[in-house]
Amino acid sequence: MKNKVNIGLIGWGTVGSGVVRILKERKKHLSRRVGAQLRLKSIVDLDINKARSVKVNRKILSREAKNILSDPEIDIVVQLIGGEHPAKDYMTNAFKKGKSVVTANKALLAKHGKEIFKLARENNAEVGYEASVCGGIPLIRSIKEGLLANKIEELRGIINGTSNYILTRMEEENYSFNEALQEAKKRGYAEADAGLDISGLDSAHKLAVLASLTFGTSVALSDIYVEGIDLITLQDIRYARELGYAVKLLAIAKEKQGRIEARVHPVLISADYILASVRHNFNAVCLKGDKVGELIFYGAGAGQLPTASSVVSDICDIAGKLIRGGKGRVNSFLYDALSKKVSPINKLESRYYVRFTTLDNPGVLAKISRILGRKNISIASVIQKQRKEGRTVPIVMMTHKALEENMRRALGQIDKLSVVKGKTVAIRVEEV
Amino acid sequence: MKNKVNIGLIGWGTVGSGVVRILKERKKHLSRRVGAQLRLKSIVDLDINKARSVKVNRKILSREAKNILSDPEIDIVVQLIGGEHPAKDYMTNAFKKGKSVVTANKALLAKHGKEIFKLARENNAEVGYEASVCGGIPLIRSIKEGLLANKIEELRGIINGTSNYILTRMEEENYSFNEALQEAKKRGYAEADAGLDISGLDSAHKLAVLASLTFGTSVALSDIYVEGIDLITLQDIRYARELGYAVKLLAIAKEKQGRIEARVHPVLISADYILASVRHNFNAVCLKGDKVGELIFYGAGAGQLPTASSVVSDICDIAGKLIRGGKGRVNSFLYDALSKKVSPINKLESRYYVRFTTLDNPGVLAKISRILGRKNISIASVIQKQRKEGRTVPIVMMTHKALEENMRRALGQIDKLSVVKGKTVAIRVEEV
């Protein structure tokens, strides 16, 4: 039996350094648990001179990925570089040499998952990607193995810490969106360019990975409807609270009658619901299985050591399979690939929170209601409080269930009314 | 390569029927995922005539456990009977025949875990026990595999659904303990004899299993300090709420300087903390790892299908190892056994909520404070509201950190004062 597993690390950045540290610090413990020595044989990075927090033997350092990819002794390639290129080439080269890959690159998996997992399977290689979604939370493993008796019907999660931090600070400190964003940057919860996070795109990358695994079909990034939190105002958060809701950016995927819904957008969720208590930069994912019911996983969604913790658990998992003679393994990702169709957002049925900005004239409400009524949208409640003669006032409505395409058409018409000043805000209500 | 794994089920009760149902309903899916056929070859139960919800071929039914234990074709014994005998004998016999066992019997593992896991290891057999704690939550797997890069420092959980249901109803409906208990029985959340649940003993069984795994040392049932919820009154829940806390029954295990703390008792936890939002009969466990930080797992802690879901995931895990040629596997439970010492409850340092029942005489507070002061217990705040001349009144105190043995001695003395009527209630505050 194999008693040593050789690891090559491509990408010696923040998470990479965390992995090196854990492999060193927990060497004895991990070897005992895996049943073989885990040997970090080679590290590749463009910059091998910058000081890192953990010392390594300089002999294992180099700048050339081929030193890992062409080394027949290396069993597992831990690839922690971002972007598509050269990440994808490295990964496919590794598979072709029969090496397994552990990665945190969600964007790559979201865009090329189908091709990547197919190639891995053809080469009998494993892909470890626990670290690609929700940092340190053992979510992928739980879905793949812990819940395999279940047909998972719904998945909804707070999977972008930056957005959740901003929304929490707006709600708790009455900050404007921009104040909260600046604070998030100052505290290191948002990068200088927070566009990927607040636009919802980062959540969409992760949702593509999670939904594909959960429903056993390839959910492409382009199949996912995406809205970010950049249009959420403090005013809407306050109205939501008054109505008994919290505003959260959720990634949602559901299977209904063989069709998949996959979308990322802000929602109103009941303030009582446990996801509403997820504060700051934490992540939480709720799954509903037909056998197990509702499960929630909560934890740090990013950060050096939480993410490295997931990378190391994948290394150990694959190493364990290798030493036990892992031929004929089953890679669950897309294995069941059933080519389920993804429903377009237009066909979504939802309740809506809608805020109109109107002139305070008699008959405004009647005009708006008439248009909504014609589109089969019925109103559950209305709030209209501040009255300032001749100025614009907000009218807030909660609707009953309506079809997204009807709502869009209605709002298109309403926003053209001369009494309506400013774009109407509509936020979907997520029933839990 | 083996392409069929034979399963024998001992105990065809509620959970057993759920397992049969899932194995039947998801046959194709599970076989594909495992890479081999899962064949339920034999079912043993004392009553094989009672109607069950899922039909099976009568030929596989019998009343004799030896039909499974002595069948050389059976690879995995799913043992779903409660109690110690004959459950323990069946299990040890299975190991001696080289069979792996999947069980939900937490009491058995809590009492004989050390011996059971040793025997399994000696016979190169696996023990699947995901279903023994927290029903459908994939917690054992997450600790064993997902978090193995971590040193887990703390574990705290709501792991008894019956107690949590009762406390939730008291808090939300202002029910007395007895009213809530009766409702729990009526709704099927408590058995006719709820003693095991409300005494904290059921939580202690589960904590013994969880703490042993988490800290890699045998934490015996007798090492765990246990208090139930039977002395919690609505009055205390209301005071706690006023002070910003919720009352929950927690199972707690921590490692501090190489010593283990393991205890089950009611606590006051901050109402903001996410565990305070766990309502009704749900379970939730919070773990703190040195790398991953805080993680929370939430879900159904009991019930036919959630528990069966965990049993099936264990079956698949073990089956997967068997078909890949599973010799030389590492069984993580107690593998690192380090014989860490368990601290006695007397050495616990905690803040306390204390409610005295006293005569409303001048000088009562002075007498009580003097005794506390002599034991180094300092008072953080006092509530004394209702005043009824000549009648007993509650005095509620929050203390600063104090040593448990000092608190016990102080309360012993205070309860002997002639102005103190009725036993003083003390509830520990769990800092999060």
- Per the CB < 8 Å rule, is B33 touching A335? yes
What 3-state DSSP class applies to A183?
helix
Give the pLDDT mean for B55-59: 95
CB distance from B271 to chain A under 8 Å? no
Q: How far is A17 from chain B (nearest CA, A)?
A: 13
Give the pLDDT confidence score for residue B339 in this predicted structure. 79
Q: How far is A286 from chain B (nearest CA, A)?
A: 9
- Per the CB < 8 Å rule, is B291 touching A308? yes
Tokens of residue B301, six digits: 């802690």
A107-132 per-position pLDDT tens digit: 999 999 989 999 998 998 999 999 99
- Per the CB < 8 Å rule, is B33 touching A332? yes
B179 sits in which H/E element: helix B177-186
> Strands, E, within B240-334: which ranges?
245-256, 259-270, 282-289, 293-300
Q: How far is A295 from chain B (nearest CA, A)?
A: 4
Give the pLDDT confidence score for residue B258 in this predicted structure. 87
Nearest chain A residue to B324, by CA: A326
Which amino acid belongs to residue A305?
Answer: L
CB distance from B155 to chain A under 8 Å? no
pLDDT, mean over chain A: 94
CB distance from B308 to chain A under 8 Å? yes
Catalytic site residue from A206, A248, A254, A375? A206
Give the pLDDT confidence score for residue A32 in this predicted structure. 87
Residue to mutate among A168, A295, A314, with most B CBs inside 10 A, is: A295
Please report residues of B whose CB lies closer than 8 A to that of A138: 141-142, 145-147, 295
Q: How far is A30 from chain B (nearest CA, A)?
A: 7
Q: Is B118 exposed, middle or buried (0-12, 13-18, 19+ CB in 10 A)?
A: middle
* Sign of the Cα pseudo-torsion (B402, B407, B413, B416, in order): positive
pLDDT band at A328 (very low <50, low <70, confident <90, very high): very low
Please report residues of A whose CB lies closer than 8 A to that of B295: 136-138, 297-300
pLDDT band at B361 (very low <50, low <70, confident <90, very high): confident
CB distance from B102 to chain A under 8 Å? no
Nearest chain A residue to B26, by CA: A149
Q: How far is A278 from chain B (nearest CA, A)?
A: 7
In the predicted structure, residue A94 carries a pLDDT above the cut 90: yes
A78-88 per-position pLDDT tens digit: 999 999 999 99
CB distance from A30 to chain B under 8 Å? yes
Tokens of residue A121, six digits: 């399977």
Q: How far is CA B209 from the centre of its chain?
A: 8
In the predicted structure, residue A140 carries a pLDDT above the cut 50: yes
CB distance from A158 to chain B under 8 Å? no
CB distance from A37 to chain B under 8 Å? no
> Mind giving me the DSSP string for A213-235?
HHHTS---GGGSEE--STT--HH
pLDDT band at B279 (very low <50, low <70, confident <90, very high): very high
Model's pTM, two decimal places? Answer: 0.96
> Mind giving me the DSSP string for A299-324?
EE-S-HHHHHHHHHHHHHHHHHHHHT
Residue to mutate among B126, B282, B291, B316, with most A CBs inside 10 A, is: B291
In the predicted structure, residue A416 carries a pLDDT above the cut 90: yes
B65 compared with B257, residue with greater pLDDT: B65
**How far is CA B160 from each of CA A272, B157, B190, B251, B300, rounded to the nearest angstrom?**
21, 9, 10, 9, 10
Nearest chain A residue to B335, by CA: A33
Determine phi and psi for A429, rounding to 5 degrees: -100, 125
Q: What is the ipTM of this complex?
A: 0.95
Contact criterion met (CB below 8 Å) for B58 and B344: no
Give the pLDDT mean for A187-200: 94
B206-248 per-position pLDDT tens digit: 999 999 999 988 899 999 999 999 999 999 999 999 999 999 9
Give the pLDDT mean for B185-205: 95
- Per the CB < 8 Å rule, is A291 touching B22? yes
- The rounded percent of chain B whose pLDDT value lies above 90 is 86
A13-48 per-position pLDDT tens digit: 999 999 999 999 999 999 988 889 999 999 999 999
Alpha-carbon dihedral angle through residues B49, B50, B51, B55, given to the nearest 10 degrees = -40
> Mind giving me the DSSP string for A110-129?
HHHHHHHHHHHHHTT--EE-
Q: How far is CA B376 from the centre of its chain?
A: 34
Picking from B149, B272, B309, the nearest residue to A313 by CB comes out as B149
Q: What is the DSSP-derived secondary structure letter of residue B420?
A: B
| Residue found by looking up tokens 């990634």 in the block | A251
CB distance from B277 to chain A under 8 Å? yes
Picking from A34, A136, A297, the nearest residue to B297 by CB comes out as A297
Tokens of residue A95, six digits: 């598979």
Q: What is the DSSP-derived secondary structure letter of residue A358?
A: E
